[in-house]
Structure 1
Amino acid sequence: MKVDRRQAMGKIVGLASMAVGTSAVSPAIFAADACPGDATIGLGSGGSANLGSSLLDYANLDPMKVAKLAYQSYFKGGCMYGVFNAIVTELAAQGHEDACHFAAIPTNLAVYGGTGVRGWGTLCGCLNAAAMAINVLGGVDQQAVIDAVYRYYEKTSMPRGDQEFLDGIGAPTPDLIFGTGRSMTQEEIGQSVANSVLCHTSVSHWSSASGFGSGHWAKYERCAQVTAEIAYISAKYLNASLAGTLEAEGHAASNDQCDSCHAPTQREPDTYIGPDVKSHMECQTCHSSHEQLSALPKHADASECQVCHN
């Protein structure tokens, strides 16, 4: 099935018009008259084997367009929605053979991932979204792209904050969006390194660096910019993978020492030495080396955490 750019864009414009005045895009995001023929998503529901045989072809994206849409979408549905909606919408707008299949994907399904899944502070919604989108793409090395995006998030000082990028996405947002009546500077928003893929760790490190609490309006601007940045880097790595030129760090080199004892194994109990770890996450963010364990400060009982960290 072929569809030209005008048809695909007509579909997207129609979808956007349904979202006016709402906090997130209308849930009725399915192919319309602009996409004739089979209007289903085309991914199936038969598990991984089925998915692997029905991937949607990736087409080169403009990373800045993806970033700008992700930034705008954050204020409609949060970080996971922002990244997922931007990637899927821009792929639908490319006018290639799978454009209508991308247009049929209901991007509202990603709203749940904001604030680390409905406030649970687990996996950052930006990363959750990137992996969900990459998971359905053909023509790219999915594992390598996911590894690269996640490692970027772990080790990079964000949000990037350079003026060219800020101008490109239209940031910072005027304070009217927050209703505070207070102006905002990029210096106030600041930067921090997450050293983790978890929402609560990322936001806590930013809060410590900036001096703002996680409930402050400045946090939402920070997360909107991080959403744009992860959408941008996801598109950049996808483009590189499609071209066969992706070169990015996929895991922390410091994990190699830990993996020598804690890598996943098939050991039986009588040969079991220490706990296996099933994770690519950077170990040292949460775990000190064995030599340092005795030097760790003793915190209060876990039930008292929110006395200081609410």
Structure 2
Amino acid sequence: MKEEIGFPYILLPDDMFHHAAGGYGGEGTLCGSIGSCAAIINLVAYDDKKTHSKLVADLIHWYSQENFPSKRYDDLAANKDQIQKIPNSPLCHASVSTWMMAAGASYTEKQRKDRCAKVAGDTAYRTVEMLNEHLVGKYAFIGAKRSEETESCLSCHGSDAMYNEKGLNDCLTCHDDHTK
């Protein structure tokens, strides 16, 4: 984008999103690839209709349901044909832990690093697809929805009750179903 468009992209340093590694500062929060791509979406698609927010919500929904890592980058990686796992969460910790348990890998292993690099590539690739479709008027918004289980959780935790939760994520990825 620096070469094709120039300003404002020439002002962005190449290592601008390095802090996002490991779920931001190594804390395992939001996957850094989502946060970094969300910032780019905001730069490209910000408008009064909140198109940028809708695109980011769709990216998060896509990420949570994607079978990672794809095979797209196997020719570049030391670990090819890795086990794939749907994270069911945009959180780095949940995404990586779910995959590591399925793969029998530890956090410090090269195969985990390859997996995360591939996930970052997959997320950037999807972001470019979304933005390209949006810019030519062909993007169809997904409009992320809550699962039935999460809707059930929100009957107590949502805006009509305690109002201590508002997200679209699947609650049961991290929390037990305390209604049973």
TM-score tier, shorter chain, comes to 0.7 to 0.9
Q: Deviations over 1:93-117 (max 9, x none)?
A: 22x4xx2320111232311110011
Matched, 1:211 2:104: yes
Q: Deviations over 1:163-203 (max 9, x none)?
A: xx237xx4224xxxxxxxxxx432xx211111111111111
**Alignment map for 1:62-73 (pairs within 5 Å):** none
Q: Which residue of 2 aligns with 1:279?
A: 167
Paired residues, number: 175
Q: Which residue of 1 aligns with 2:32?
A: 125
More helix by share: 1
In the TM superposition, residue 144 of structure 1 has moved relative to its aligned partner by 1.8
Question: Following the alignment from structure 1 to structure 2, what is the Cα–Cα distance between the partners of residues 218 and 259?
Answer: 38
Contact 2:34 2:59 in 1 (8 A): yes
Q: Which residue of 2 aligns with 1:307?
A: none
Q: Which residue of 1 aligns with 2:63?
A: 153
Contact 1:116 1:122 in 2 (8 A): yes
**Alignment map for 1:1-310 (pairs within 5 Å):** 91-94=1-4, 96=5, 99-138=6-45, 141-161=51-71, 165-166=72-73, 170-173=75-78, 184-186=79-81, 189-254=82-147, 255-264=150-159, 273-292=161-180
Which shows bigger deviation, 236-245 or 117-126?
A: 236-245
Q: Which amino acid aligns with 1:194?
A: P
Question: Following the alignment from structure 1 to structure 2, what is the Cα–Cα distance between the partners of residues 275 and 139?
Answer: 29
TM-score, with length taken from structure 2 = 0.85
RMSD of equivalent CA atoms: 2.2
Q: Which amino acid aligns with 2:107?
A: S
Contact 1:160 1:229 in 2 (8 A): yes
Question: Following the alignment from structure 1 to structure 2, what is the Cα–Cα distance between the partners of residues 287 and 220?
Answer: 27
Contact 2:64 2:87 in 1 (8 A): yes
Q: Deviations over 1:185-231 (max 9, x none)?
A: 32xx2111111111111111110111111111111111111111000
In the TM superposition, residue 261 of structure 1 has moved relative to its aligned partner by 4.3
Contact 1:121 1:200 in 2 (8 A): yes
Question: Following the alignment from structure 1 to structure 2, what is the Cα–Cα distance between the partners of residues 202 and 121?
Answer: 9
Q: Which amino acid aligns with 2:109?
A: H
Contact 1:171 1:225 in 2 (8 A): no
Contact 1:139 1:242 in 2 (8 A): no
Q: Secondary structure at the match of 1:289?
A: coil
